A = this chain, B = another copy of it.
């Protein structure tokens, strides 16, 4: 059994404890007799997956969590399903934060991902078309444009997460999850969170 999480940039795969990502238009050939159970937030990239493999099953409808939130994306539902108590931060193209308590989803919010920050700044002015610098000093006031943008992007995300998590345990996942996790004491990085949630749902339904 192969699991796949179709995102807005990459397709993430999980098989026998290993995870890897592939670009939507350059998908590798998978064993024909191995079913792919997947979830998707991107219809176009989902079609790429369906075209590449004969046996794909969308298990989105199995990924259920208790929540008042309307329109919670299936990838967020899957990651939340893997956590009983804590805050889940998925730092990819977008950064989503979701709060779980006793297996119930209390709400969440969305911020742009770091690469989106960069693109956004470049769109405002060519002067601001600058790479986000991960090692920028967050304790001193920036003294140039590159630091000013990196400080604005990284520190605003960190302050938001600190403000809404307080003493709760934080589970980071996604491409920039490892980077952000190091700013928090009560954090772990787990890039299999979405797949853990998918497995949990599958155990119940298959």
A interface list, Cβ under 8 A from B: 8, 41-42, 68-71, 73, 93-97, 99, 106-113, 116-117, 119-121, 123-125, 127-128, 140-145, 147-149, 151-153, 155-157, 159-160, 163-164
Contact = CB atoms under 8 A, between A and B. Distances in A.
Nearest to A125: B8
- State the oligomeric state as a number of copies: 2
A140 B73 CA distance: 20
A138 B110 CA distance: 13
Contacts of A123: 116, 119
**Which 8 residue pairs spanning A and B have beta carbons closest together?**
A107-B141, A111-B152, A120-B120, A156-B156, A159-B159, A70-B144, A109-B152, A109-B151
25 contacts: A8-B124, A41-B125, A69-B148, A70-B145, A71-B144, A107-B140, A107-B143, A108-B142, A109-B141, A109-B142, A109-B147, A109-B151, A109-B152, A110-B121, A111-B156, A112-B121, A112-B152, A116-B123, A116-B124, A117-B120, A119-B120, A155-B160, A155-B163, A156-B157, A159-B160
